[in-house]
Amino acid sequence: MFEDFQLRVVDTPQGPIRIRIGGEGKPLLLLHGHPRTHMTWGQVADRLVPEFQIICADLPGFGGSYLPADTSDSRLSSKREKARALLAMMQTLGHEAFSVAGHDRGSYTAFRMAMDHPTTVERLVVIDCIPILEHLERVDWRFARDWYHWFFFAQPEKPERAILADPSLWYGNVSPDRMGQEAYDDLVRALKDPAIIHGMVEDYRASLRIDHHHDHADRLAGRKLICPTLCLWSAKDDLEQIHGDPVAIWRAWAENVAGFSIDSGHHVAEENPQALAVAISDFLRSSTG
């Protein structure tokens, strides 16, 4: 994976961000989900790099990127603040406008980046995601049963202690079989680091403390995404089963949105990288005519 990519650390005002970068085409930023690092994108990046310059970044608080400082409202772990840091990183690389695709937790930062910086994000891909506010307003017994970690991770101290007691048990779906040995080794290192576990949990705390307020302010102001938006979801995951048609939900937040499911479990970049790469490539090419 990541053939002919460079591993770099880019300094931003918020802190350093670890990336892999390759290719010479139009820039595309790829943001991973929980508990992965940028390495989850390897098989997708290799398929996209002939067409695009691919930048895979560790989210702040994850992997090899900076750990946001703690505050009572988790504002430095908010998706708004992470989007600012990643935007500064892209500008350091010379990109004033680019497309962004995010999976899971990375999708929330990608969404916030497109909402807050509409002249910068040209096209947006969100994968296994609806806006945080929509999740919270739609909570029912199924969400509480299957996504209970949202509320557990919002509690102080206990989540980190529970995870670090046995990371391999907590994240029992981790395996090198599909993700590749290098990505697996990178992930295992991250999951043994108490600082990274804390950073990942703070990402969830920020959702329940501050991120949903940002979404609510957008709704009250009538703001919508103006860039073309593609919504994808894993058919063998439970987003659609719990919340209904994700595209219908995104229509309240985006002026131009389409989407469909991909035959995969939750970690789609590892489980069906070919279908995901084709979906992203087709969308970006059709958007540019």
- Whether 185 sits among the annotated catalytic residues: the reply is no
CA distances from 286 to 183, 229, 269, 270 (A): 31, 12, 21, 25
Q: Which of these is catalytic: 103, 214, 266, 267?
A: 266
The active-site residue out of 46, 58, 104, 218 is: 104
Whether 73 is catalytic: no
DSSP collapsed to 3 states, the chain: CCCCCEEEEEECCCCEEEEEEECCCEEEEEECCCCCCHHHHHHHHHHHCCCEEEEEECCCCCCCCCCCCCCCCCHHHCHHHHHHHHHHHHHHCCCCCEEEEEECHHHHHHHHHHHHCCCCEEEEEEECCCCHHHHHHCCCHHHHHHCCHHHHCCCCCHHHHHHHHCHHHHCCCCCHHHHCHHHHHHHHHHHCCHHHHHHHHHHHHHHHHHHHHHHHHHHHHCCCECCCEEEEEECCCCHHHHHCCHHHHHCCCECCEEEEEECCCCCHHHHCHHHHHHHHHHHHHHHHC
Q: 94: which residues sit within 8 A by CB, 6+ positions away?
A: none
Question: Active-site residue numbers?
Answer: 104, 266
